[in-house]
């Protein structure tokens, strides 16, 4: 039986793993990808030690740090279920591997929220995407739309204005809700048109996206675009565990020591109810989680 299983390898999971390796715990990391949402981020200007670093480059730094340690890593793998067993917990993966462990850190992060408009599924990866960092350069000199009004949408716009000919920011609310500095940068660009009180109602095209239908201030209209970037928020990847307390948004509720409602289960990063979804915050929460695990293992009869 493992001392610990860490689920996820974004900033929280990676930091948890570094601390677990330094504490010489017998642990496994199970993750779909290393770096998590950092792989999607644009320019990171608020991570301690780096005045400026692109998200994918920071994710590579995380990977390099992780590679300094020897431990059981299951990369490219999904966890489908976590269960309680008499002497701990059992984690089952998509490949039907089952691993027993004394403790768990859930650091599974979040995934993009779907737009829910007709045509979204049909045109996914055919002009519609959820990752400006990944796909932005493919839309050089094209007209695109970004759905959203928070930080993820503003970050996408700031990336896209480097490539696209025109960017329409389609915001459902009356005003943008993202970082003021990011808003100022966007408003200073002649490439960006902000449309508030607007909802995309349909994605249109043949083989690829060619236009969108929307209502703006209650009025229907159609707009010619060649790309749609959906940036309307994220959903916590918490369905894999059903026996810990969660809030109305599905986030796992933790205390200041990353403890959940179930002894032996800890959580860190964006999957939790910690209010600020920031890379540096997630990393700190990952460190706290492993330190709490170490204390738990040292003080409980397992």
Domain locations along the chain? 2-110+235-299, 114-230
Half-sphere exposure of 193 (CA within 13 A, CB side): 13
**Residue 27 CB contacts under 8 Å (≥ 6 apart), including other chains:** 2, 3, 4, 5, 6, 17, 20, 21, 71, 72
- Between residues 296 and 301, which one has the greater pLDDT? 296
Sign of CA dihedral 86, 92, 96, 97: negative
Instruction: For residue range 276-289, list pLDDT tens digits in order.
Output: 888 999 999 999 99
Asked if residue 50 has pLDDT above 90, the reply is no
CA 262 from centre of chain: 24
User: Cα–Cα distance between 173 and 86 in angstroms, integer?
Assistant: 49
Instruction: For residue range 94-144, list pLDDT tens digits in order.
Output: 988 899 999 999 999 998 899 999 999 999 989 999 888 778 888 999 999
Name the residue among 19, 47, 1, 3 with its Cα closest to residue 268. Answer: 19
Q: Is-contact 113 234, C-beta < 8 A? A: yes
User: Cα–Cα distance between 236 and 250 in angstroms, integer?
Assistant: 6
pLDDT of the residue at 43 = 73
- Tell me, yes or no, if the two domains 2-110+235-299 and 114-230 fold the same way: yes
- Give the C-alpha distances (Å, rounded to integers) separating 284 from 15, 59, 61, 103, 239: 8, 16, 16, 19, 24
Instruction: For residue range 202-218, list pLDDT tens digits in order.
Output: 999 999 999 999 999 99
pLDDT of the residue at 219 = 95
Instruction: For residue range 206-249, list pLDDT tens digits in order.
Output: 999 999 999 999 999 999 999 999 999 889 999 999 999 999 99
**Residue 190 CB contacts under 8 Å (≥ 6 apart), including other chains:** none
Domain 2-110+235-299 of CATH type 3.50.50.60: yes
**Residue 280 CB contacts under 8 Å (≥ 6 apart), including other chains:** 11, 46, 47, 48
Burial tier of 228 (Cβ tally within 10 Å: 0-12, 13-18, 19+): buried
Token pair listed for 145: 């739309």
Q: Is-contact 258 266, C-beta < 8 A? A: yes
Instruction: For residue range 149-187, list pLDDT tens digits in order.
Output: 999 899 999 999 999 999 999 999 999 999 999 999 999
User: Cα–Cα distance between 64 and 34 in angstroms, integer?
Assistant: 10
Q: Which CATH class is domain 114-230?
A: alpha beta
Token pair listed for 120: 């979204």
């Amino acid at each position: 039986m493992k001392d610990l299983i860490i689920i996820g390898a974004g900033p929280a999971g990676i930091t948890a793993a570094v601390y677990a390796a330094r504490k010489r715990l017998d642990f496994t990391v199970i993750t779909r990808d290393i770096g998590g949402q950092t792989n999607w981020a644009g320019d990171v200007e608020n991570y301690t030690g780096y005045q400026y670093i692109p998200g994918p480059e920071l994710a590579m730094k995380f990977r390099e740090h992780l590679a300094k340690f020897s431990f059981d890593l299951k990369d490219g793998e999904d966890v489908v279920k976590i269960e309680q067993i008499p002497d701990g917990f059992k984690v089952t993966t998509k490949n039907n591997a089952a691993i027993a462990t004394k403790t768990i850190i859930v650091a599974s992060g979040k995934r993009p929220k779907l737009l829910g408009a007709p045509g979204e599924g049909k045109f996914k990866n055919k002009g519609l995407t959820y990752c400006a960092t990944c796909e932005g350069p493919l839309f050089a000199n094209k007209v695109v739309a970004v759905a959203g009004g928070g930080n993820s949408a503003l970050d996408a716009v700031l990336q896209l204005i480097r490539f696209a000919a025109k960017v329409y920011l389609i915001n459902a609310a009356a005003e943008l809700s993202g970082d003021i500095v990011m808003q100022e940068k966007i408003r200073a660009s002649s490439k960006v048109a902000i449309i508030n009180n607007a909802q995309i109602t349909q994605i249109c095209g043949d083989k690829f996206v060619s236009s969108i239908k929307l209502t703006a201030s209650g009025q229907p209209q159609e707009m010619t675009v060649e790309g749609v970037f959906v940036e309307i928020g994220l959903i916590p990847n918490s369905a894999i565990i059903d026996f810990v307390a969660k809030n109305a948004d599905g986030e796992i509720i933790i205390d200041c020591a990353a403890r959940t409602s179930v002894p032996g289960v800890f959580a860190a990063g964006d999957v939790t109810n910690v209010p600020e979804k920031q890379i540096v915050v997630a990393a700190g929460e990952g460190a706290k989680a492993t330190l709490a695990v170490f204390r738990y293992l040292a003080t409980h009869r397992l």
